[in-house]
Amino acid sequence: MNLKPVASDRLPELLRLMPKAELHIHIEGSLEPELIFALAKRNGVALPYANVEALRSAYAFTNLQSFLDIYYAGASVLLTEQDFYDMARAYFLKAAADHVVHAELFFDPQTHTARGVGMETVVKGLHRACVDAQELGISAALIMCFLRHLSEEEAFETLEQALPYRDLIIGVGLDSGEVGNPPEKFARVFARCRELGLHLVAHAGEEGPPEYIWTALDLLKVERIDHGVQAAKDSALMQRLAKDRVALTVCPLSNLKLCVFPDLAQHNLRQLLDAGLAATVNSDDPAYFGGYMNDNFTQTFAATGMDAQHAYTLARNSFEAGFTSEAEKRSQIEGLDACFESFR
Ligand code: ADE
Ligand code: ZN
């Protein structure tokens, strides 16, 4: 579409207003400290922090693993179907305020089944929140992630437990500690998921090397790469990602907080976009990284000097990369075009 110029002081407003899709949000990473404490009280779970402030002050991460240790501890307060509903509902209210119109939520069942919480409890609570999100103007779907620090056998067991809820899940992903847990460990379980007609994604190239992105594409046969920022170190990979229009679900504030980039001005999102890659902006674990969707957009644009054309491209990429029908994509892009047309 033909874009009108947008003055730089109006750009933050456009970024906030434009409709967008979020394709990389770990729903357990949307648990705000206040809700963690409220659920701990409701469920009689003891926390190793005196109060909300003490918990929040522990959010000083040096790398992915330093975050994951606190993130898995935070999820220990989730016990009932209503807990999972409340967590997702709180996320959807924030997403709606940020003009997110489509969201694909990751969840980590193994974090819960290991504590004796059933797959049914997790999936039903999250699914009910996805249904209710429609009233907020958000279409939503669930992607079940396998924890890559666990075994292939445990991933297969998790898939088996999820089969009764196959119709409530659109796809599977791969998350948790990346370095030392390459994608090939999960090639067989991803092949089985593919036979089941599930969409496939994987975290790759967050902290790990470009080789993990190659194997996620060629062995796991994923349709999108979560993060993928390390691709910039491999020009042949950059060409492959651009040629095949493989979407990257980039999470700038996550990368900042986990020290993948020293500051946002050095984030490579602009470089990825300018090289023709189908990059998108996402929040990853917004309660832990200090920002939801619009914070990610406004802070990254302010730091890197991206413009309205980049904004349009990012939002459009998010719709094109969603696991939605062609008709849904068309209607989402029409909404985006209308927003840019009417913005003055
Ligand atoms: N689980 C939650 N957030 C994650 C991230 N950024 N990388 C890998 N696993 C995660
Ligand atoms: Zn993630």
Give residue 234 CA to ligand 2 midpoint distance, Å: 21
Question: Which of the residues are catalytic?
Answer: 206
Stated pTM of the model: 0.98
Quote the pLDDT of residue 1: 82
Is the pLDDT confidence value at 343 over 90?
yes
Q: State pLDDT tens for residues 289-334.
A: 999 999 999 999 999 999 999 999 999 999 999 999 999 999 999 9
pLDDT 10s digits, 264-301: 999 999 999 999 999 999 999 999 999 999 999 999 99
Cβ 56 vs Cβ 33: under 8 Å:
yes
CA of 205 to the centre of ligand 1 (A): 12
Q: Which two tokens stand for residue 233?
A: 């170190």
Distance (Å, whole) CA 127 – CA 16: 27
Question: How long, in residues, is the chain?
Answer: 344
Question: Which residues have any ligand 1 atom within 6 Å of their CB?
Answer: 26, 29, 64, 71, 175-176, 203, 206, 254, 284-285
Task: Single out the residue of 92, 93, 104 nearest to residue 249, CA to CA.
Answer: 104
With contact defined as beta carbons under 8 Å apart, do 21 and 95 qualify?
no
Interaxial angle between packed helices 293-304 and 308-321, expressed in degrees from 0 to 180 and rounded to the nearest 10 = 140
What does the pLDDT read at residue 303? 98
- Identify the CA nearest to 332 among candidates 190, 42, 71, 321: 321
Measuring from atom 10 of ligand 1, which residue has the nearest CA?
A: 176
What tens digit of pLDDT does each residue of 186-207 get? 999 999 999 999 999 999 999 9
Quick one: pLDDT at residue 4? 86
The DSSP H or E segment spanning 47 is none
Minimum CA distance residue for ligand 1 atom 4: 176
**What are the residue ranges spanned by the domains of the chain?**
11-35+81-342
Q: Across the beta sheet with 278-281, what order do the strands follow?
A: 20-26, 100-107, 139-147, 171-175, 199-204, 224-227, 247-250, 278-281
Say if CB 23 and CB 224 are below 8 A apart. Answer: yes
Quote the CA–CA distance of 89 and 127 in Å, as a whole number. 11
Which CATH code, of 3.30.300.210, 3.40.50.2300, 3.20.20.140, 1.10.760.10, is assigned to 11-35+81-342? 3.20.20.140
DSSP 314: H
Pocket test for ligand 1, best of 87, 108, 176, 289 (most atoms within 8 A of CB): 176
DSSP 5: P
